[in-house]
């Protein structure tokens, strides 16, 4: 069971502006090939789903869960280069009854 429902025609935004708890789908990654390859290696590529879990204090990095179930922190500048559309919003990242990290309920 995958708890993601596509909302049709949601506007495109930066991953950086997605609030904690928000599930998004990556539309475009405006980065050079090397960085794009790095992101791909951790399951972040066009059409992949990502959930923003939290932001570090003082404008630090962003904590995400990729569609592969892995969790990563990426720098804000990188998050600014990733264009996304929002999916079904979730209640709250912190303490939300999320499926566990390895935890996509298959």
Partner 1 sequence: MIALLGRPNSGKSSLYNALTGGSARVGNFPGVTVDILQGSVAIPGAGGGVATLADLPGLYSIHAVIDPATDEGIARGFLDRAEAGEQPLIVAQVIDATQLALGLRLTREILARGSSLLVIVTQSDVLEREGRTLDVQRLQAAIGAPVVLVSVRVGDARGVVMEAVRGLLAKPLAKPVSDWEPAALARSVLSDAPQVSPEATRRRTFTTRADAVLLHSIFGPFLFLALMALVFAAVFLIADPVTAFFDSSVGRLRGLFTRVLGAGLLTSFLTDGVIAGAGTVLAFVPQIAILSVAMEVLDASGYLARGAFLLDRVLRLLGLSGRSFLPLLMGHACAIPAIASTRIIRDPRERLTTILVVPLMTCSARLPTYALILTTFFAGRGAWFKAAVFVGLYFTGILSGLVASLVLRRTATKGRSLPLLLEMPSYRMPEWKMVARKGWQSASRFVRDVGRMIIVVAGVLWVLLKVPAPAALQTAPESAPPIEHSIAAAIGHRLEPVTRPLGFDWRIDVGLIGSFGAREVMVGTMGVIFGIEDAGDDVSPLSQKIREAKRPDGTPAYSMRTALALLAFFVFACQCMSTVAAIRKETKSWRWPIFVLVYTYGVAYVVAFLIFQLGGLAGLS
Nearer to partner 1, 11 or 38 (CB): 38
Residues 24-83 touching partner 1, rule: CB under 8 A, are 34-35, 37-43, 53-61, 63, 66-75, 77-78
Instruction: Classify 87 in phi/psi space as left (phi over 0), alpha (psi -120 to 50) or beta.
Output: beta
Residues 64, 52 contacting (CB under 8 angstroms): yes
CA distance 56 to 38: 21
Pick 9 or 46: Cβ nearer partner 1:
46
Q: State both tokens at 62.
A: 């962003």
At 32, list the tokens. 């050079």
Contact window for partner 1 (CB under 8 A) among 8-16, 21-29, 83-91, 94-102: 94-102
> What residues line the site for partner 1 (CB under 8 A)?
34-35, 37-43, 53-61, 63, 66-75, 77-78, 94-106
């Amino acid at each position: 069971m995958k708890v993601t429902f596509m909302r049709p025609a949601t506007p495109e935004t930066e991953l950086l502006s997605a609030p904690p708890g928000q599930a998004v789908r990556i539309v475009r990654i405006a980065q050079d090939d090397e960085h794009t390859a790095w992101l791909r290696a951790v399951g972040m590529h066009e059409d992949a789903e990502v959930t923003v879990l939290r932001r570090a204090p003082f404008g630090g990095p962003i904590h995400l869960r990729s569609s592969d179930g892995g969790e990563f922190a990426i720098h804000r500048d990188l998050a600014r280069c990733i264009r996304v559309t929002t999916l079904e919003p979730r209640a709250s990242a912190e303490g939300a009854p999320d499926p566990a990290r390895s935890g996509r309920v298959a």
